[in-house]
Amino acid sequence: MKLSNKGRYAVRALFDIAYFNEGQPTQAKDIAERQGIPPRFLEQIFQDLKRAGIVGSKRGPQGGYSLAGDASSIRLGDVIRALEGPLLLSDGTEKVEGAVVEVTEAVFRDLSRRVEACFDAVTLAHICAQAERMGLSRVQTESYSYVI
């Protein structure tokens, strides 16, 4: 199983909001710049996350995207399902009949449930705590360019 760029970028963007802005409105362009995510792709991701109720948005100079809930209530499983659908190792559409297929499909369904449970066990708050343990600074230095 491999996560798409969309899923990985979404987790990075949500972490950015949770960690650097404590869940408060953050401009997509700032997140894109800090996280190295293509801005147009990030906007598409935020639209999906907004439809799923994971983020909210506010227009204006102090606006941006914010977490729709507390970082401890946003699970990675919810994020991935919002963007990519269910976390499945098998889609259950195997056409071949037989006991072996039934057994292996049952094993894949069980493994899918376990993988999903692992993703559901991790929240944005867990990722923020990991960042703190690793010594990641919450203060982001801004670079200015002056034109004369």
The confidence score (pLDDT) of residue 86 equals: 86
21: which DSSP letter? S
The confidence score (pLDDT) of residue 140 equals: 61
Residue 63 lies in a domain: yes
* Each residue's pLDDT expressed in tens, for the chain with a length of 148 residues: 678 999 999 999 999 999 999 989 999 999 999 999 999 999 999 999 999 999 999 998 888 999 999 999 999 999 999 999 888 876 666 566 778 788 888 898 899 999 999 999 999 999 999 999 999 988 765 554 455 5
Residue 109 lies in a domain: no
- 102's CB contacts (< 8 A; 6+ apart) are none
Average pLDDT, the chain: 89
Residue 77 lies in a domain: yes
Residue 98 lies in a domain: no
Residue 93 lies in a domain: no
The confidence score (pLDDT) of residue 83 equals: 95
Residue 82 lies in a domain: yes
- Residue 36 domain boundaries: 5-86+123-133
Do the beta carbons of residue 8 and residue 30 sit within 8 Å?
no
CATH code of 79's domain: 1.10.10.10
Q: Is 72 left (phi over 0), alpha (psi -120 to 50) or beta?
A: alpha
How far, in Å, are 43, 103, 126, 140, 144 from residue 31 at the CA level?
A: 10, 45, 20, 11, 17
The confidence score (pLDDT) of residue 106 equals: 87
Domains contained in the chain, number: 1
Measured CA to CA, the distance from residue 18 to residue 75 in angstroms comes to 13
Residue 27 lies in a domain: yes
How far, in Å, are 18, 22, 131 from residue 125 at the CA level?
A: 8, 10, 10
pTM for the model: 0.84
Residue 113 lies in a domain: no
119-145 pLDDT tens trace: 999 999 999 999 999 999 887 655 544
